[in-house]
Structure 1
């Protein structure tokens, strides 16, 4: 049975980036495993109206590939997905992608020093190295709201949008006001007979100022590609400066807070509604919404903001804790994703049958967000503490991919079959990481998907992108236990 050098789970940006970097280094013995019938990851799955990126287009792409000719300053989902599909096609990766192949679990074979990856098709894929690129935002959460099965109308999550459900003139409920909801609420408001938005806690909203590129700009970008590179560099530098807004009591945090308040004041005239929409926690504690049309949607005459907590869902609608039954034809869940486990498969079993699901309770941890002690040759992309609140996640993914490539090269150069990060190395990294995170807004007084119930921040990196690039710039093999086939055979 064939043994691949690298098996990659997922064909979103992470998985494709890993495959392209391996090929760039002359490594072609890899396989991509994709549960769906096409590439794209989150941009394939999220097709809700208004879906778009909140990072500017010229920055939101892999740095080492040909730049798309974006049509807008902020790219929409269809355009992003189209360009990802073109990337997979033009790069020739598709023959190395096994579509409609969902990974169920993976087990480390200690005698052979390889991963046995089991699929829903009852197949087993063997690989020396396993790179899960399952992402953090692909497992829809319904926020534990009781009674969903009782509702007699149509209901769906934003990540599984029902385009077959007619919305025009309907009584629609939207549960949640996070970044995805802020994008589709304006679209729902334009169609609904009446839209009720259920808000548990408000978000800070800052201007987006999105616009199409002019014909002249498009011609210049096409004729002189260096102008697109310059635009990317300028956007990156600007976004890096935003990191200070994610730290408590900084001038940048005050600047962003003032910007958000000015936007609220200019777009919401009703003082009662305005105060319902103003957060009481520090800016950045929850993900900041970048939008121009969210507040205008909420002040439409056919839209109501409901801040009373939900008791449960019943046959005819949603009952709030004050006893009121709100009747609806359609319920849309903008309740985000399950992010606490950070696990995109049933389980992964490492040395001695060690379970990653159990290891990551109550809080997922990794070294540099990539490697986990007890799980040799496992390199997680977009893993614990690698999310950002200020810049493009693709910059972080590239750093993780490059670190993984260096690890594979180091193992080969030292004649090592497998590498397993030392427990003390991982523990010290996470001790310092959590200490550094205490100065950020994510440690503030809000409840968010960044933070675990015990206060530890499990999703976000403690610094800016440049800090992370420095941290991952060198692979130090002395930080890893080195496993060799002969040693295992003689044990």
Structure 2
């Protein structure tokens, strides 16, 4: 059977764009990129709430092979990330490969034909020899299971589905959630509201955000001498690895890094809230830094020192037609309710039914036998399939570093299958299981198994007590392994 395409990439966010760039560099032109929305950019196209921005340096949050010299700031706003996605699409002439408004409904593998059949929402079926699943994590907004949510009569909006026409000026606004989205949106909207109530379930560790404008003279230097930008990227990569990856993944070996981060965060909190002990107590996490991803901010904590802003730590009992009632019986009338409650992450993998050998559904496999992968990207029993973002894929450092090494892995196998004239490549079960055992063994050294992490509602952890959202390795190790794993860890058939 001759499939419609050699490679099918699902998703046109940065993971899908990275896969397409890799295919271009490998000389593979028979591919299509399916995207359920009507434009590229993924999360950076969908998320347009006030204050949305990248939370690590843009010099690291970009493809190593496609640097961008036009960042206006060290931590640029979301619209610049969307512009960077467009830049990559045009620089590599990828638009003819894009197919928008193409939501994948299901995918299944034919063991006889060695092809994947992908059925779209409109009933169209496409076949491909190889599939790269680049659907990302932050795609399915999480709506909190709070009684009465559907009865609220005011304006109700999730940060991931922002309504740009929403008017907050002079309004009584409630924000549920204190994660990364809330840290960005709360300071941005505070001045516009008459009253702002932020409902916190779990406080977040914060560190100062060293954000500043990049002068035009520096941007010109980047364009004329690209090595200068590569040098800065190396520095920001190292800082990210030390502050996030090493501190989290090698917590038991280097506990002083986590303690230093907590001390720095507490000092920053003290300065932000001007010594208000009650507020400090409410905003100080009781878990180790790293149990949940810490955030960077320039003014989130300071916002709660404003007279018209209130931090509410009492549990929400019910949402009423006019506002929110908490467990202590207090009720606040609201005009606008903002859900900064994040996304379904692990429980949205994969985001559609995907059946491999024997017709087994991948979501069911992971549910019954725990999340597991080979080198964070492929799964036994699911030939010709690789995930850019899956269990044990992300080290916690640069998202783009992960994309680079995941794409490198997939393209090495596809290239080997082509060399052998094979139509099927599937990881050997014993190699897959060894990789999974290594991850479980290494996870013992991470912060995620610290008792303080229990009950934090961290998306790093799953119902089994594993932390499959993080690969227990540095980005540099993961990149090395992607370039050097034994290609015979896969079996190849024709």
Shift in Å at residue 66 of structure 1?
A: 4.3
Q: 2:69, 2:222 within 8 Å by CA — same for their partners in 1?
A: no
* Separation (CA, whole Å) in 1 of partners of 2:351 and 2:257: 39
Corresponding residue to 1:368 among 355, 364, 375: 375
Contact 1:105 1:345 in 2 (8 A): no
The yes-or-no answer on 1:256 pairing with 2:261 is yes
Q: How far apart are 1:323 and its partner, in Å? A: 2.8
What is the match of residue 92 of structure 2?
A: 91
**What are the residue-to-residue correspondences of 1:274-353 with 2, within 5 Å?**
274-353=280-359
Rounded to whole Å, the distance in 1 between the matches of 2:271 and 2:353 is 49
* Partner secondary structure for residue 379 of structure 1: strand
User: Conserved in 2, the CA contact under 8 Å of 1:244 and 1:250?
Assistant: no
Distance between the aligned counterparts of 2:329 and 2:170, measured in 1? 26
Choose the corresponding residue for 2:388, options 378, 381, 387. Answer: 381
C-alpha contact 2:380 2:426 (8 A) present in aligned 1 = yes
Query: Aligned with 1:312: secondary structure?
Result: strand
Deviates more, 1:411-420 or 1:303-312: 411-420
Q: Which runs of 5+ in 1 are unaligned?
A: 485-491
Cα deviation, residue 175, structure 1: 0.5
1:221 and 1:470 map into 2 onto residues whose CA distance is 27
Report the counterpart of residue 37 of structure 1 in structure 2.
38
Q: Which residue of 2 aligns with 1:476?
A: 486
Kept in 2, the 8 Å contact 1:342–1:383? The answer is no
SS in 1 for 2:21: helix
* Partner of residue 397, structure 1: 403
- The offset of 1:327, in angstroms, is 1.8
Cα distance per residue 1:137-187 (max 9 Å; x no partner): 111112322322111111111100112221111111111000111000111
2:119 matched to 1:114? no
Structure 2 CA distance, aligned partners of 1:15 and 1:219? 29
| Cα separation, partners in 2 of 1:146 and 1:367, compared to 1, 3 Å | farther
Is contact 2:8–2:33 with CA below 8 Å preserved after alignment? yes
* Alignment coverage as a number of residue pairs: 483
Are 2:419 and 1:419 aligned? no
Structure 1 residue 130, shift from structure 2 partner: 0.7
- Structure 1 segments, 4+ long, off by >6 Å, are none
Match of 1:267 among 246, 268, 272: 272
Matched residues in 2 for 1:23 and 1:379: separation? 17
CA apart distance, 1:483? 2.9
Number of the residue aligned with 1:437: 443
CA distance in structure 1 between the partners assigned to 2:317 and 2:255 by the alignment:
39
Runs of 5+ consecutive residues of structure 2 not aligned to the other structure: none
| CA distance in 2 between partners of 1:128 and 1:221 (Å) | 40
Asked if 2 retains the 8 angstrom alpha-carbon contact of 1:411 and 1:419, the reply is: yes
Q: What TM-score, normalized by structure 2, do the two folds share?
A: 0.95
Aligned to 1:489: none
1:176 aligns with 2:177: yes
| Matched residue, 1:198 | 199
For residues 78-227 of structure 1, the aligned pairs below 5 Å read 78-227=79-228
Distance between the aligned counterparts of 1:335 and 1:345, measured in 2? 19
More moved, 427-436 vs 16-25: 427-436
Q: 1:42-61 CA deviation, whole Å, 9 max, x = no partner?
A: 11011111101111111111
Alignment pair present for 1:410 and 2:416: yes
1:183/1:318 CA distance change after superposition, 3 Å = same
